[in-house]
């Protein structure tokens, strides 16, 4: 069995998904094409040797409807014979793209694969592909009567189940911004970010981080998912999820160059990390956001490791209650959890987030000299991917 390794991992700056956001004027294909082009150029690989481009993208509608990885590859002027496919495992789409890329190499089917992800949430709003329709169907609605709920309500259900107060959620959110701001000011993101050219100029840095965020400021925000009907159905909920303690809607792209170790060494490229274990699991779709807990337990068991053996944890901050419940359930060290901030500060461009997290984790392991990193992301429908990597 071949050994897949990470040779490089990069991302665009994270930009607010607003009409005046730094990347809002850029078509998602043009955004991803710049990331792919720079990944190829900085590693001096022959792009014609790439076996596949596996792209995570959630809202496959409008400008993102046309196999965005394939179109971005062509837009970058790269060889036409290289194919691409699109993965949708919701928030974990590009993390799943990484898994599929590595697994293809392990199987000996391919030697060099690019996993990537893109989401322009300012140009293709979340939920666009639903076209206003009921996505569940009668049989699913019957199984989970009186009905499943949206992720925001699930976030409040998770907070209630794990006894997380509004103040604790806001404190976690403020800490995410503070950690990201500290990393940004220290230049910790510079190696992982590639510049993106837009009609308005070149974008070099994340614009989502709010260094001045405090618990006091967040306390003034209104809970956004409360309703009289839901309060009757779920009397245990305290309605604590706000725009401030949830991830930011964001535009962004990311990409990772994955090869067999043998091919990397043949090309004179230095493997930066290897994959220790993978997992993906489903959990209660009503609570929806809890699957990182069993996914972590399963991936650790596969790796024959304990959580204490891991030096860096990346648990996606879809909502503050998600990593907090994960930390509380697994008794994890909070200093190792999202030490450079997470999606509350850096944003959550759905299809690109999996590789964004892994890119940040890899660079943090290199900067600290630490060895193992674990990543997991909650996904719509109550799923989660989990990955353990080892820095080389």
- Tell which phi-psi region holds residue 320, choosing left (phi > 0), alpha (psi between -120 and 50) or beta: alpha
Q: How far apart are CA 292 and CA 316, in angstroms?
A: 9
One of 177, 312, 348, 363 is an active-site residue; which one? 348
CB contact at 8 A, 377 and 354: yes
Read off the tokens for 301: 């068991």
Pick the closest to residue 196 from 366, 21, 357, 391 (CA basis): 21
Give the residues across from 85 on adjacent strands: 54
Radius of gyration of the CA atoms of the chain, in A: 20
The answer to whether residue 348 is catalytic is yes
One of 91, 177, 311, 312 is an active-site residue; which one? 91
The set of residues, in sequence order, having a beta carbon less than 8 Å from that of 95 and lying 6+ positions away, is 56, 89, 353, 354, 355, 357, 358, 375, 377, 385, 387
Q: How far apart are CA 157 and CA 107, in angstroms?
A: 41
What residues are annotated to the active site? Answer: 91, 348, 378
């Amino acid at each position: 069995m071949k050994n897949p390794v990470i040779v490089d991992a990069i991302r665009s700056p994270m930009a607010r998904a607003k009409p005046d956001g730094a990347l809002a004027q850029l078509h998602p294909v043009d955004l991803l094409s710049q990331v792919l082009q720079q990944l190829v150029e900085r590693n001096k690989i022959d792009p014609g040797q790439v076996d596949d481009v596996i792209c995570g993208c959630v809202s496959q509608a409008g400008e993102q409807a046309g196999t965005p990885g394939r179109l971005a590859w062509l837009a970058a002027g790269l060889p036409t014979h290289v194919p691409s496919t699109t993965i949708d495992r919701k928030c974990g789409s590009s993390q799943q793209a990484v898994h599929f890329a590595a697994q293809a190499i392990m199987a000996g089917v391919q030697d060099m694969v690019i996993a990537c992800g893109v989401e322009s949430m300012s140009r293709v709003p979340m939920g666009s592909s639903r076209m206003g329709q009921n996505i569940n169907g009668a049989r699913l609605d019957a199984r989970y009567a009186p009905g499943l709920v949206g992720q925001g309500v699930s976030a409040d259900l998770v907070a209630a189940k794990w006894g997380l107060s509004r103040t604790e959620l806001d404190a976690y959110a403020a800490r995410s911004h503070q950690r990201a701001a500290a990393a940004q000011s220290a230049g910790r993101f510079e190696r992982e970010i590639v510049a993106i050219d837009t009609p308005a100029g070149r974008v070099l840095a994340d614009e989502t981080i709010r260094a001045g965020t405090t618990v006091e400021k967040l306390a003034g925000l209104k809970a956004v998912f409360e309703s009289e009907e839901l309060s009757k159905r779920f009397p245990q909920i305290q309605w604590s999820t706000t725009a401030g303690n949830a991830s930011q809607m964001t535009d962004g792209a990311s990409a990772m160059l994955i090869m067999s170790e043998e091919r990397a060494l043949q090309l004179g490229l230095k493997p930066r990390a290897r994959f220790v274990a993978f997992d993906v699991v489903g959990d209660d779709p009503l609570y929806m956001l809890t699957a990182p807990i069993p996914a972590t337990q399963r991936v650790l068991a596969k790796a024959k490791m304990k959580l204490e053996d891991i030096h860096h944890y990346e648990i996606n901050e879809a909502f503050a209650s998600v990593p907090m419940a994960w930390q509380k359930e697994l008794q994890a060290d909070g200093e190792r959890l999202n030490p450079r901030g997470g999606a509350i500060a850096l944003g959550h461009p759905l299809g690109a987030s999996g590789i964004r997290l892994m890119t940040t984790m890899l660079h943090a392991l290199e900067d600290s000299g630490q060895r193992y990193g674990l990543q997991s992301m909650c996904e719509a429908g109550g799923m989660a991917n989990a990955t353990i990597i080892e820095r080389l």
